[in-house]
A and B are shown apart, each in its own frame.
Chain A
Amino acid sequence: MGDIATHSQTLRQTFRQNSGRWSSHGRTWLSSGNVLSLIMSFTLFALSALFALSAISPQSAHAATGADSTPVFAHPALTIPRIDVQGYGSLNLSLVLESEASMTFRIASAAPAAAGLTPGATYNLQTQELTIPTLRVGSQFYSAQLRFISADRLQLVSTTAVVLPGQTSYQQLCANCHGTDGLGGSVGVSLKNCSNCSALDVLGTRINNTMPLGNPSACIGTCASDVASYILTAFNASASQQTGQALAAIEPLSLDATLRNAALHLVGRLPATAEVALVTQKGEAGLRQALDGMLEEDAFYARLAEIFNDVLHTNRYLSTNGAEAAIGLMRRFPTSRWFDPGVDLRGSDFTVNRTTTNNSVATEPLELIEYVVRNNKPMTEILTANYFMVNGYSAKSYGLTGINFTNEWDPNEFRPAVLPGTPHAGILSSLMFLNRYPTSATNRNRGRSRLVYDVFLDVDILALDGVRPDGSAVDISSDAPTMENPDCVKCHTLLDPVASSFQNWNLRGTFAPPRTWYTDMFQAGFAGVSAPPRSSGDSLQWLTKQIVADPRFDDAMVRIMYTGLTGHEPLDGPAAGAPQAQTDAYLAESTHLDYIKAKYVGANRNLKTMVKEIIVSPYWRADGLNNIAFSAVHEETGAARLLTPELLHRKIEALFGFQWRGPLDQYAANRNVFSSARLLDTRQYYHQIYGGIDSFTITDRLTDPNGLMVIVQERMANEMACYGVPNDLLSTRTARRLFPHVDTSTVLTSAQGQAAVRQNIQHLHRYLLGEELALTDAEIEHTYALFATVLQQGQSAMLGKTETSSLPTRCMRSNDMNTGASLNVAGGVDGRLRNDNNYVIRAWMAVVAYLLSDYRFIYG
């Protein structure tokens, strides 16, 4: 032990340095509600009392689940998960720094130590000294000794900086990728609750065999086990308590509301009665059961394709980007344009066959994902599948026969197939993928490699800190700078082995093994392991097996789905010096995502399991905070998002029973015309303006509204109110979606009419916005006031002849929405709705327009 004064000063400085961080948002370890009210004297006799008290005191849930035994100082609390007292047993003890000047601590709480902990400190009854061999302060470690001074107080008398076994090796070999704090970086995953952090031997083996990437022999044997021990001690300690507190601060949506949001998001409809009953009867189990059903619906797979296309962008080859955008990539297939008998011989089906064929070829990678998920196969198969997907149309283009289609003209019937002589490697060997991410003789598949890392390994190579020379020319004077210049090697040692693994797939995406491969770049391999000789098979197939065995592949799948479902990417690891709230936020979220990942992996990597876990997670269900002290931690928490044009399109249809395409009198003619869909068509309407992507020149969605987008919302609200209100009032009350409590004659001149209007407003808030409001709620009154005002002003205007009783022309209903037939059948009842004699329809239109432009409608 060194000089006491020096060490005390060291620790004091450390405390001060950390005090600003740990106290920045007013939380201490003592706020978890488990503080014993009675502070006891830390004497021999008091110890007896403490043990007696702790035996009957409620124990912190976090303490019960925390498996780490390392004492931690997080200003101002010093927590000792287990202290053994000679002759008495084990306590969980919390001290609070009372005086920085004298380094005096006060005992704040005591409880029985959780089972399974190892002693982190000892108390000597004779010397009255408390010894902590390893005390964690931030990312540093100390040994510390405290001495009982009086009553319930102890004083720090010495500290010594401790270098844990493996710490030095970690900083030298691992920190560059995983961060000095273990929270991960652009390449390395977070080591907090990492997939291999379940046990020392598991992690040690992993390090021994594969780490550091590209040079696993640098740390084997004792080095590997020491580094593993350090990682578990330094980065997996005491996170559970912080995480638990953070998650507990989230107020979740009710299960009913969760069901509604999930149904709208996943399958574009409202929950069925049976699904609501399931939730009512079985709670969360019922919700999961309802989700199980949704995940079998075609609509879910349409949403799934959107989510994956947002990262793959293979829909760049849909016919909306060129009539034969995909077919044009198939020049080597003689029958690629099987649908064209020649200009003079084209029949009426030419256009539909061409479009269907093109889009069938274009969506092949996304169809593979659907096939894997729909059939409960592990997601690893999206890369390892030794087949690709065709339907009757694309099979003809590829010249494939003998595929057992039930209906070869059903564009939705995709089946696995194999191109002769082609070693398929899932998405990576897809013609669409390989063309979407082309290469060249100089690029040598490095672009493809970068994308593989980004999408399938959750590693952004381009974000590597400090490794890419900037501002001055790179020294490329050697023959192979990517193998020799240290500035280049850092990236290329990762990039090039994967790039070389694509060597058998040429610039146009065809399997065409070259005679030789470049020797001035790193050869095919992955994570420090070389690919087998070419004679033993295609290196791309080999690569995909390596990728899916890497835990980062699971991280990547979680990232894609979490981002797709919540609209927000998982938080990045906090940068050095980041506020403590950011660290806490990251820890809480990443811990929960690890939990979701573990569930998914445990379910044989069935993506449906992951979707369900995300939906029921506090992050997707977040509806508020019950403790504003956590506002900074939860700044990014929640799944509220500006709905994408596709999601908004489907929500409108789910609630109104028709799409936003224009007046309903023309709906029968427009309903299947792509260019009439206001939120899907780009050129004439709003898909692009509203933040959609074409997967070609525009690949990033707009997630925040701009000036044009709010006008799109305004027009949508106006038009849909115009179309939807009269249409609903045409139906009988029991068949109505919007107005089950009122008619066109329901006005406010009677108490009965007023009550009916209020009741219907309550219904509209529930039906359109998902709000459960009491009839006395202020929001009901606000909406009522709008209705009443518009009604009164409108009736006055009609009396004053400044307005007529006619509905706006495009709001009139004269034809059947589905058939286009006139609603005024000769000899029958005139079923048209063209007038609004009481101004009631227009008053309700105003209310519906008000609600449709509401935050809770356009976000979800």
Chain B
Amino acid sequence: MNRRKFLQVLSAFGVAGTLPMTLGAPSWAAATATTQRLFITVNAAGGWDPTALIDPKGNASRADGLGPVNKYAASAIKSAGRLQYAGYPDGIEPPASTSAGHLETFFNKHYQRLRVVNGIDTQTNGHETGTRFVWSGRLETGYPSVAALAAAPYANQPMAFISNGGYDFTDELVAPVRTASAATFTSLAYPNSQYADNAALRSQSYFSDKTYANVKAARELRLARLRTGETLPQRAAQMAQLEKVRSGDMKLDGLLAYLPAQVSTGLKGQAELAVAAFASGLAVSANLNLGGFDTHGTHDEDQTAALTLLLEGIDHLWEQLVLRGLQDRVTVLIGSDFGRTPFYNTGDGKDHWNITSIMAMGAGITGNRVIGATDADFEALKLNPDTLEPHSSGIIVTPKHVHRALRDFLGVSSELDKLYPLNVERLALFA
């Protein structure tokens, strides 16, 4: 409903001819201000259980008789630096310790780059509302995801924002791009090739180079003529948008050079494509998405499986970033719709709970730190907004605070910030 916003924002940033550009003045590293900053969100879709991950409680019975929060002993809770992480529930077979998704393996490897914020109150237990709040900073509709905000200044890059589903509302600031297999990308990297997936035959084209150039030139001239003569504003706007997108320089073959020979499935595959798109300069922001966390039944079994896949995916993402030398340019934010109840239902499941956590790593993030806390019943504790330490007269942290801090950290421009204001205390959650 706000088609004009896209062009207005582009205009406000003077995009044409000035790319690449930064999001603004990065707050975290002046040394990298001249390089393009990149951003990834990882969504654990369905509502993860922080008490099974980075806000562990143990199996002490609750005073209200609802049973334990977790089904592992408090003594099973472990530490990696300042981070505490959960043990595996009784009766659940953990993944192999060699698996990157094993809790101990993962946290021992990554704790020094991980920053955790616990005790975030999402104020909802509805999936749609939760994902919207967690990824946009606003409970109500209307704000783009932070990944889309990060991509907005680069909106005329053809793959600026890669979305794998989840909350990817952009408010038309930038066109989200969805992905598929490596073979699909190959076919699109060489649209005039009859045998794009065969390097030896790739040069066999449908049209000669000369003919193809003629077709493309005629097509763009025709589109310009149509737009000029169009009197229906909607169609004229569509034509203008098509012209703009077509004018982008995709260079997908560059992306292919950074893709593994065999692209993985699931979250790992999403990570590989995002990193390849970053490395080739096509994308600046991506949201990755993994389901399986809505564990209303057999929680321990299913949540453990989902968390294992999540941690394996994050580890793989990190390895890909390192492989491409991007670990100092990419900030990764990991979160979920909300949390799960600090007690089990009659089906050994856990239902929705409004308290959650986030994890951040990568560029600009100082790891080995935990901010925020919850009590024994997994209720959020108030924080002193200055010291970020628990304080009874402090404030409850919400996703709105997280996004306020995140925008400041990422250097989201004042223009975008004014378009989607977040009037809330500024907490140095990522500084």
Contacts and interface: CB of A to CB of B under 8 A. Distances in A.
- Counting chain B CB atoms within 10 Å of each CB, which of A568, A636, A707, A845 scores highest? A707
Interface stretch (B53-61, B101-109, B222-230, B307-315): B222-230
Contacts of A55: none
B408 interface: no
B231 to A, nearest CB: 4
B231 A470 contact: no
Nearest to B1: A572
A684 B291 contact: no
Interface stretch (A389-397, A591-599, A623-631): A623-631
Nearest to B234: A638
Contacts of B215: 786, 790, 846, 849-850
A216 B140 CA distance: 28
A797 interface: yes
A718 B191 contact: yes
Interface in A690-737: 691, 696-700, 702, 704-712, 714-715, 718-719, 721-722
Contact of A443 (B125, B139, B241, B246): B125
A440 interface: yes
Interface string B234-262: 11011101100110101010000000000
Interface string B335-351: 00000010001110101
Contacts of A684: 180-181, 183-184
Contact of A708 (B158, B218, B234): B158
A688 B127 CA distance: 23
Contacts of A628: 231
Nearest to B341: A442
A635 B2 CA distance: 10
B218 A686 contact: no
Interface stretch (A410-418, A806-814, A819-827): A806-814
Given A697-B291, A706-B175, A440 B205 contact: no
A706 B174 CA distance: 9
Nearest to B425: A471
Nearest to B249: A707
B175 A697 contact: no
A283 interface: no
B177 interface: yes
Interface residues of A, number: 94
A631 B126 contact: no
A699 B230 CA distance: 32
Given A442-B352, A450-B126, A855-B223, A705 B180 contact: no
Contacts of A473: 121, 123, 380, 396
A510 interface: no
Nearest to A442: B351
Given A624-B232, A636-B234, A849 B207 contact: yes
Given A715-B187, A842-B211, A846-B207, A706 B158 contact: yes
Contacts of B188: 689, 708, 711-712, 715
Contacts of B242: 705, 710, 855
A854 interface: yes
B141 interface: yes
A801 to B, nearest CB: 13
Given A684-B181, A711-B250, A854-B219, A631 B211 contact: no
B362 interface: no
B389 interface: no
Contacts of B231: 251, 624-626, 628
A548 interface: no
Contacts of A204: none
Contacts of B232: 622-625, 634, 637-638, 640
Given A782-B221, A809-B194, A686 B180 contact: yes
B152 interface: no
Nearest to B167: A700
Contacts of A794: 208, 211
A702 B206 contact: no
A356 interface: no
Nearest to A691: B178
A782 B218 contact: yes
Contacts of A441: 345-346, 351
Contacts of B248: 707
Nearest to B6: A704
Contacts of A369: none
A778 to B, nearest CB: 8
Contact of B214 (A471, A571, A722, A790): A790
B45 interface: yes
Most chain B beta-carbon neighbours within 10 Å: one of A696, A711, A789, A859:
A711
B222 A811 contact: no
A37 B130 CA distance: 63
B246 to A, nearest CB: 5
Interface in A414-462: 438, 440-443, 446-447, 450, 460, 462
A426 B150 CA distance: 44
Nearest to B265: A683
A468 interface: yes
A850 B296 contact: no
A741 interface: no
Contact of B180 (A685, A711, A849, A854): A685
Interface string A461-481: 011010011111110000000
A706 B214 contact: no
B238 A707 contact: no
Contacts of A635: 3, 233-234, 237
B179 interface: yes
A803 interface: yes
Contacts of A710: 242, 245-246
Interface string B364-379: 0000000000000000
A642 interface: yes
Contact of A698 (B139, B178, B245): B178
B181 A683 contact: yes
A569 interface: yes
A472 to B, nearest CB: 7
B89 interface: no
A682 B234 CA distance: 29
Nearest to B243: A855
B126 A697 contact: no
Contacts of B230: 624
Nearest to B227: A855
Contact of A718 (B128, B175, B206, B289): B206
Nearest to B189: A711
Contact of B219 (A696, A709, A850): A850
Contacts of B245: 705-707, 709-710
Given A462-B140, A471-B424, A447 B127 contact: yes
Given A698-B178, A708-B250, A440 B165 contact: no
B208 A803 contact: yes
Contacts of A507: 296, 347
A702 B214 contact: no
Interface in B298-324: none
A465 B208 CA distance: 58
Given A624-B231, A688-B178, A793 B211 contact: yes
A638 B176 CA distance: 24
B115 interface: no
Interface in B126-175: 126-129, 138-141, 157-159, 164-166, 168, 172, 175
B172 to A, nearest CB: 7
A471 B398 contact: yes
Contacts of B352: 440, 442-443
7 contacts: A632-B233, A699-B165, A718-B191, A719-B206, A722-B206, A803-B208, A846-B214
Given A706-B245, A793-B208, A849-B207, 11 more contacts: A441-B345, A446-B126, A628-B231, A635-B237, A637-B234, A697-B164, A702-B178, A707-B157, A718-B191, A721-B206, A797-B208
Closest 9 CB pairs of A and B: A707-B158, A706-B175, A440-B351, A697-B165, A624-B231, A715-B191, A442-B351, A698-B165, A638-B234
